[in-house]
Amino acid sequence: MSASQRLRRRYVDGLRREGAITRPEVAGAFAAVPREVFVADGFHGRDGTWVPADGDGFLESVYTNDVLVTKIRDGRPVSSSSQPSLMAAMIEGLELRPGTRVLEVGAGTGYNAALMAAVGARVTSIDVQADVLGRARAALARCGAAGVLLHEGDGYDGYAAGAPYDRVIVTVGVAGASPRWLEQLAPDGFVLVPLRHAGHHPVLRVRREPDGVVHAAGVCPAGFMSAAGPLSAPYPSAHPLPVDPLPAATVARPARFDPPLDVFRYHDLWFAVGAWDGRATFAQLAGAPSESGCALLDETGVGGAGIAPDGSIHATGAHAGAYSERAAALLDRWVTSGEPAVPAWRAAMALDGDPDRPIWVPRGWHLTPQP
């Protein structure tokens, strides 16, 4: 057994323990597809340094549950191999079967497409970046992946020539779903998309019902790089965009959770705060716990209140007292509602954004009974 195979076995075991992989065919795909082939030129480490393929610890780093950034433009990541646990959760969420026709918006390194193909899907993957597609095409050829077609194009437009698709999976954060994706779906198909919500990108399942109404349902917490263009167009009811760190808190409320919420439960809270309050976004307050980010931004844009994973509240600005109370009320509401997770939420969707290239965005999140 090669070093890569040994590391892949440990990697799959870890994803199973986390609960990211529950289906044997998905475990088989992660065990079979060599991730290192898709980052053969190297990648950027967490500290920003370049990790070359011939560097010490390269293979061990590849088989960690971490995003591997492969391209940066103007200081911002624009292509990567996503966090494996998130990739696994999304692939399982697609409910793939042999022969399932999938449109992937955002080819990235090609690794995600190779995993879906290993499950038996027929994948059409599009990306607007020609160089990214070239590297993905070469990697897919090197590992002998079959059942993947790559095309250069704008993700908003999908790829009508390959329609209909049973599934659409989007691998970049967007503000709304393109109508083209829904138009290119087969009956009973759905879109799995990381859709911007209160400063982060939880994964939603979007489908058109027989009566023509478009609905969104929460799937799982997530974080993705943001798309450009009409897929990230602003619209009137959108949450404020993430902001730079706010000044140190002048009003604080004590911790509520011991131990603090883990990252998944914290994002469950964050989703609920965003569903109930249009001022929710991502913001870090100076002096607040570094792992926090869920915040209410006041109307001045330079104050508000943040909620940390331990339930403590840190508020700043001219309206610190009022926003501290507002954040505490939302925290109370989440607790008394049974601490709902992301999959408990549903919303109808409406067209908004750029009038010439509109997007479907959620309207009025509500909780649904969970088993």
What would the pLDDT profile of 54-86 be if each residue is shown by its tens digit?
Answer: 888 899 999 999 888 887 776 666 677 788 999
Between 360 and 228, name the one with better pLDDT: 360
Q: Which of the following is catalytic: 80, 82, 125, 312? A: 82
DSSP tag of 261:
P
Strand partners, 367: 345
The answer on pLDDT for 370 being more than 80 is no
Phi-psi region of 353 (alpha: psi -120 to 50; beta: other; left: phi over 0): left
Between 336 and 68, name the one with better pLDDT: 336
**Residue ranges of the chain that CATH labels 3.30.310:** 251-336
Between 220 and 223, name the one with better pLDDT: 220
Fold observed for domain 3-171 = Rossmann fold (3.40.50)
The answer on pLDDT for 371 being more than 60 is no
Match 């560097």 to its residue by tokens.
Answer: 55
pLDDT tier at 125, thresholds 50, 70, 90: very high
What would the pLDDT profile of 283-313 be if each residue is shown by its tens digit?
Answer: 988 877 777 899 999 999 999 999 999 999 9
Strand partners, 167: 102, 190
Match 């859709």 to its residue by tokens.
Answer: 195
- H-helix or E-strand spanning residue 173: none
Q: What is the pLDDT of residue 297?
A: 97
Q: Beta strand 50-51 with 43-44: parallel, antiparallel or unpaired?
A: antiparallel
Between 225 and 179, name the one with better pLDDT: 179
CB 147 within 8 A of CB 117: yes
Q: How far is CA 107 from its chain centroid?
A: 15
* 3-state class (DSSP) for residue 193: strand
The answer on pLDDT for 320 being more than 90 is yes
**Residue ranges of the chain that CATH labels 3.40.50.150:** 3-171
Tell me, yes or no, if 324 is annotated catalytic. Answer: no
Over residues 209-215, mean pLDDT: 91
Q: In angstroms, rounded to a whole number, what is the distance separating the alpha carbons of residues 17 and 235? A: 40
Q: In angstroms, rounded to a whole number, what is the distance separating the alpha carbons of residues 63 and 149? A: 26
CATH number of this structure's domain 251-336 = 3.30.310
Q: In angstroms, rounded to a whole number, what is the distance separating the alpha carbons of residues 77 and 221? A: 20
pTM of the complete model beyond 0.85: yes
Q: What is the pLDDT of residue 57?
A: 86
Over residues 327-332, mean pLDDT: 98
What is the Cα gyration radius of the chain?
21
